[in-house]
Chains A and B, each alone.
Chain A
Amino acid sequence: QKEVEQDPGPLSVPEGAIVSLNCTYSNSAFQYFMWYRQYSRKGPELLMYTYSSGNKEDGRFTAQVDKSSKYISLFIRDSQPSDSATYLCAPSTNAGGTSYGKLTFGQGTILTVHP
């Protein structure tokens, strides 16, 4: 079983829709939860970062963590065509990864927002 499982998608939604992207994980030691966005032919970029359970909002993006069920979500409100990308979850035991900085990534969800 993989340490991080992510809904593979792909997801295709109309502009303005609310998007929900989800991951589950198995390591109860994960405390930090990151979401990366990767545009085509680019490297991933850090989108959101949360610590422990709860919600964090940043503009149209909300990251939600439920440690009791080992479930993490990213919500995108009023989705835009510019949100079309691959989204990767990356839970971790510390902010920079494991003791040597390793991050475990989900396999990514491809999102397309069409006008």
Chain B
Amino acid sequence: EADIYQTPRYLVIGTGKKITLECSQTMGHDKMYWYQQDPGMELHLIHYSYGVNSTEKGDLSSESTVSRIRTEHFPLTLESARPSHTSQYLCASTSGYGYTFGSGTRLTVV
């Protein structure tokens, strides 16, 4: 059973709406990540965090923002959703031995 939880699993939303994708882990991991993955395509790192109050942008430029106020919580926010944001968003964490991934949020912006 996954120790990292993402909600919602699926989201269909209209252009211009503000959305927050939730990610929580119960393992006490300091390092957390957000990846973006289009169907059948590579994982692209868009944000990561070393710990509370630490956030950095990843390799792929993204209009989203993240926050890390608590160790267990790493939400991703899009202030104004666009169809180009349609993708799967995967959250992950690590204690230093591989990653544990959530099941992902599949976002569709119409």
Contacts and interface: CB of A to CB of B under 8 A. Distances in A.
26 contacts: A41-B103, A41-B104, A41-B106, A42-B104, A43-B2, A43-B90, A43-B91, A43-B101, A43-B104, A44-B43, A44-B101, A45-B101, A46-B98, A94-B96, A96-B31, A96-B98, A97-B94, A100-B50, A101-B33, A101-B94, A102-B33, A102-B45, A105-B42, A107-B41, A107-B42, A110-B40
Provide the main secondary structure of the chain A interface.
Answer: loop
A67 B70 CA distance: 40
Given A41-B104, A42-B103, A100 B48 contact: yes
A101 B56 CA distance: 12
For chain A, give the interface size range. Answer: 20 to 34
B66 interface: no
B103 A43 contact: yes
A49 interface: yes
Contact of B99 (A46, A100, A106, A107): A46
